[in-house]
Structure 1
Amino acid sequence: MAQTPETLTHALLDAAAKAGADSADAIAMDGTSLSIDVRGGALEQAERAEGTDIGLRVFVGQRSAVVSASDTKAETISAMAERAVAMAREAPEDPWAGLAAPAQLARDWDAAALEMADPAPEPAPAALEDDARAAEAAALAVEGIAQVQSASAGYSAQRVHLSASNGFSGGYARTSRGRSCVAIAGEGLGMERDHDGDSRVFQSDLRSAEEIGRTAAQRALGRLNPSRPRTGAYPVIFDERVAASLIGHLVAAASGGAVARGASWLRDAMGEQVLPEGLSLIEDPHRARAPASRPFDAEGLPTRRRAVVENGVLKGFTLDLANARKLGMEPTGNAARGPSSGPSPRAWNLELTQGTQSRDALAAEMGTGLIVTSMIGSTINPNTGDYSRGAAGLWVENGEITGPVSGVTLAGNLRDMLLGMTPANDARPWLSRIVPSLRIEGLTLAGT
Structure 2
Amino acid sequence: MDVEFLLKMGRTKGLEGVEIYKVETDSLALTISNDKVKEASASKTFSMGVRGYVGKKVAGVSINDENLNAEVAFEKLSSLIKTSIEDPNWVGFPPPRKGFMNIACRDERIVHADYAEVMKAIKELMEIMKDEAVRNGAERASVVEGMVRLGAQKITVANSEGVHTEDECTVSGIFMVLKTVAGRGESDKSFWIVNRRFDFAELEYLGMNTARLSLMFAGAEKIETGEYDLILTPETFAGILASALIPAFSALNILEGRSPLKDKLESMVLDEKVNILDNPGMPFEIGSRGFDDEGMPTSAKVLVRKGVLKEILHNYYTSARMKLETLGNGFRRNPSSPTTPYPTNFHVQPGESRLEDLQQELKKGLIVYETIGQWMSNPYNGNVKATATHALLVENGEVKGPVKGVLITGNVYEWLGSRLRGIGREVFTSEGVATPGLWVEKVRVAGE
Aligned partner (choices 201, 216, 223) of residue 210 of structure 2: 216
Normalising by structure 2, we get a TM-score of: 0.90
Deviates more, 1:16-25 or 1:283-292: 283-292
Ranges in structure 2 where 5+ consecutive residues have no aligned partner: none
Aligned partner (choices 299, 302, 305) of residue 297 of structure 2: 302
**Aligned residues of 2:106 and 2:169 also touching (Cα < 8 A):** yes
Could you list the per-position Cα deviations for residues 234-282 of structure 1 after superposition, in whole angstroms to 9, with x for gaps in the alignment?
A: 2111111111233332221222232222122222433221221142101
Q: Distance in 1 between matches of 2:31 and 2:349?
A: 37
Deviates more, 1:158-167 or 1:386-395: 386-395
1:78 corresponds in structure 2 to 71
| Aligned positions of 1:147-158 closer than 5 A | 147-158=142-153
1:356 corresponds in structure 2 to 352
The answer to whether residue 447 in structure 2 is matched with residue 441 in structure 1 is no
The answer to whether residue 401 in structure 2 is matched with residue 387 in structure 1 is no
Aligned partner (choices 126, 132, 135) of residue 136 of structure 1: 126
**Aligned residues of 2:19 and 2:52 also touching (Cα < 8 A):** yes
2:401 corresponds in structure 1 to 403
Deviates more, 1:127-136 or 1:367-376: 127-136
**Aligned residues of 1:38 and 1:45 also touching (Cα < 8 A):** yes
Q: Distance in 2 between matches of 1:214 and 1:23?
A: 53
* Structure 1 residues 69 and 182: CA distance shift in structure 2, 3 A: same
Shift of 1:100: 4.3
1:18 corresponds in structure 2 to 12
1:66 corresponds in structure 2 to 60
Normalising by structure 1, we get a TM-score of: 0.90
Identity %: 25
Ranges in structure 1 where 5+ consecutive residues have no aligned partner: none
Provide the secondary structure at the position in 1 that maps to 2:373: strand
* Structure 1 residues 200 and 329: CA distance shift in structure 2, 3 A: closer
**Aligned residues of 2:245 and 2:379 also touching (Cα < 8 A):** no
Shift of 1:310: 1.3
Shift of 1:329: 4.5
Q: Distance in 2 between matches of 1:140 and 1:287?
A: 32
2:28 corresponds in structure 1 to 34
**Aligned residues of 2:45 and 2:65 also touching (Cα < 8 A):** no
Q: Distance in 2 between matches of 1:410 and 1:43?
A: 36
Q: Distance in 2 between matches of 1:386 and 1:72?
A: 42
> What is the number of residues matched between the two proteins?
436
Q: Distance in 2 between matches of 1:38 and 1:290?
A: 24
**Aligned residues of 2:18 and 2:51 also touching (Cα < 8 A):** yes
Could you list the per-position Cα deviations for residues 119-173 of structure 1 after superposition, in whole angstroms to 9, with x for gaps in the alignment?
A: 3452111121112222222333322334321244331001000111111110111
Provide the secondary structure at the position in 1 that maps to 2:367: strand
1:109 corresponds in structure 2 to 100
The answer to whether residue 161 in structure 2 is matched with residue 170 in structure 1 is no
Aligned partner (choices 189, 192, 198) of residue 187 of structure 2: 192
* Structure 1 residues 122 and 333: CA distance shift in structure 2, 3 A: same
Deviates more, 1:243-252 or 1:321-330: 321-330
Root mean square deviation of aligned Cα: 2.5
Counterpart of 2:125, as a letter, is A
Provide the secondary structure at the position in 2 that maps to 1:333: coil
Deviates more, 1:390-399 or 1:150-159: 150-159
Counterpart of 1:88, as a letter, is I
**Aligned residues of 1:131 and 1:179 also touching (Cα < 8 A):** no
Q: Distance in 1 between matches of 2:65 and 2:148?
A: 29
Shift of 1:108: 5.1
